[in-house]
A and B are shown apart, each in its own frame.
Chain A
Amino acid sequence: LRTALRKTKVVWYPIPVGLGIGFLGFAQLYRVRQREKARQEEQEEDDRAVSAGANGDGGEGGRPKRRKRIRPTGPWQVQVMSTLPLKAVSRIWGRFNELEIPYYLRVPGFKLYSWIFGVNLSEVAENDLHVYPNLASFFYRTLKPGVRPLASNPNALLSPADGRILQYGTIERGEVEQVKGMTYSLDALLGTAPPTSSANGVPPPKMVPVDGESSGRAQTPSEAADPKSAEDSEFANVNGISYTLPNLFSGPESQHGAPAASSMDASTTPKSASEAEVRADLALGDGSRPWYAPAKEKSQTALFYVVVYLAPGDYHRFHSPTSWVVEKRRHFAGELYSVSPYLQRTLPGLFTLNERVVLLGRWRWGFFSFTPVGATNVGSIKINFDSELRTNSLTTDTAADRAAEQAAERGEPYSGYAEATYQQASRILGGHALRRGEEMGGFQLG
């Protein structure tokens, strides 16, 4: 080998580097073009599916195609998550946490959980941890009275829960900055506000209060064309479907004779003290106009937002940040991605993808909304004054799919949410009154 190496003549000549670079550029160009073409084909196929659904002859069997699954862009972790059946995982996780823990394992188990997630056991209402039969009830624990004094400044907006301030700011041009400059639109988060004035000559959709008699129903074209009815009724939905609460998730066709008033009154009548206090507070400011009406002096007010992230070890009940009136609720049966700060940084529009309950109303300065957003481990959102609400359940998903199909059959865009109003809770205030610091509900496991 040494002889061969020594005797072999070394000849140096230039490698056509330019040819190599040219080849690499061409290969990259070809790959990008292929990918673009595949994406366009997929898009065309989806559009064909949706338009076929709109004509009601959606391909095989005459049934319009199901709603397109949410396929978010983002890094590989997000792609992997978007292929998982997150809601099924969440429900199984919930079932698992409802299994009873053996009596003697409870204290060491909850102490281990508290050590891992930083729970302050001295604040937990029950001194004896044996009273919590499983992790789900420990997770939904209450706190000792007095461990969370309310801020003394009556003009202060309170933090609704224990957690961390992830993001806050002013909303410009209807866009909320998520984290690191990623933004999503307010309409996507809260659902589109119904047009208060008919922009294109079509009057705002007829709104039906949630009560026994006028059970909600799909709006007929003649009603839609009847602008006067829009003034004297409350909000129910944007694309014309109105819901009464008990049938909120069974779709508009089976809403007649819904016992809405009784179950609604039972679950939504606020304490008279709340009502009196909230009325006094609203009277101080501009909270007398309904949430959708623009402020008199637009220049005087602005829209602000704040995002509070609750970690697994935090106290997971939430409270009213101020005295306000909840006029309506919109339930988006979305996905259940984790809402960890990491994912909030990497998944654009995460909050517009996840299951959430949007509470819309008003406080003394005008519009006010409170949106608990679910996550994989806490898929269930509970609202104390709304016993009909079901989140993270098969019923809601089925109803949402059916509502989407109905909207597709009518060739209308599906708003993405099911809606209900609390007009019955208080005729004077036109919604459910919440006092500052009053418990509103919470997040439950699974």
Chain B
Amino acid sequence: SSIVLVFEAPKGRRKSFDERWEDGGVQGGWRWGVEKGQRIKYGEAIGWV
């Protein structure tokens, strides 16, 4: 069995050039906290805004 979550979440804002270039250059917005194939347990974070 599988569970599919489809949800709306804020996109990140592209950082301006002079800001520190981390997190893929995106400020705020949805951030994934998992990898493909990773085992996960109920209650653990999939991602966050």
Which residues on A are within 8 Å of B, measured CB to CB? 148-151, 153, 155-168, 171, 176, 186, 189-190, 295, 299-310, 315-316, 318-319, 321, 339, 344, 351, 356, 363, 365-375, 378, 381, 437, 443
Q: Which of B3, B8, B37, B38 contacts A373 (CB 8 A)?
A: B3
Option from A148, A176, A365, A381 in Cβ contact (under 8 Å) with B9: A365
Interface flags for B1-19 (1: CB within 8 Å of A; 0: not) read 1111111111100000000
Q: Which residues of chain A come closer than 8 Å to B8, judged between CB atoms?
A: 295, 301-304, 365-368
Cα(A167)–Cα(B38), bound, Å: 10
| B37→A164 contact, CB < 8 A | yes
**A351, B46: Cβ atoms under 8 Å?**
no
Among residues of A, the one whose C-beta sits closest to the C-beta of B11 is A302
A-B contact pairs, 22 of them (CB 8 A): A148-B42, A156-B46, A157-B7, A158-B42, A158-B44, A159-B46, A162-B42, A163-B2, A165-B35, A166-B37, A168-B32, A190-B6, A302-B8, A304-B30, A305-B7, A309-B1, A310-B1, A321-B5, A365-B10, A371-B3, A371-B5, A373-B2
Q: Which residue of B lies closest to A317 (CB)?
A: B42
Choice from B34, B43, B49 contacting A165 with Cβ under 8 Å: B34
- Are B3 and A372 neighbours in the complex by a CB distance under 8 Å? yes
A420 to B3, CA, bound (A): 20
Contact pattern, B 25-49, Cβ under 8 Å of A = 1, otherwise 0: 0000010111111111111111111
In the docked arrangement, what's the CA distance between A339 and B1, Å?
6
Identity of the chain B residue whose Cβ is nearest the Cβ of A360 in the assembled complex: B6
Interchain CB contact (< 8 A) of B6 among A304, A309, A437: A304
A299 vs B10: C-alpha distance in the bound complex, in angstroms?
Answer: 9
Interface set of B (CB-CB < 8 Å, partner A) = 1-11, 30, 32-49
How many A-B Cβ pairs are below 8 Å? Answer: 168
Q: How far is the CA of A47 from the CA of B43 in the complex (A)?
A: 48
Other than the known A156-B45, A165-B40, what 16 A-B pairs have Cβ atoms closer than 8 Å? A149-B43, A155-B48, A156-B48, A157-B47, A159-B46, A160-B42, A163-B40, A168-B36, A189-B4, A304-B6, A309-B2, A339-B2, A351-B4, A365-B8, A368-B7, A372-B2
**Most chain A CB within a 10 A radius of its CB, from B6, B34, B35:** B6
Kindly provide the distance from the CB of A411 to the nearest chain B CB, expressed in whole angstroms.
31
CB <8 Å contact, A157 and B10: no
Whole-angstrom CA separation of A315 from B7 in the bound complex? 24
Report the bound CA distance from A302 to B3 in whole Å: 20
Closest to A302 in B: B11
User: Within the complex, what minimum Cβ distance (angstroms) separates A181 from chain B?
Assistant: 13
**Do A162 and B41 touch across chains, with their CB atoms under 8 A apart?**
yes
Contact of B4 among A153, A307, A366 (CB under 8 A): A307
Tell me whether B43 and A303 are in contact (CB under 8 A). no
A147 CA / B39 CA spacing, docked (Å): 16
Cα distance A149–B37 when bound, in Å? 22
Contact B3 A318 (CB under 8 A): yes
A424 to B34, CA, bound (A): 36
Ranked 5 nearest A-B pairs via Cβ:
A366-B8, A156-B45, A151-B45, A367-B8, A156-B48
A302 near B6 with CB under 8 A, answer no
Which residues from chain B contact A368 at a C-beta distance below 8 Å?
5-8
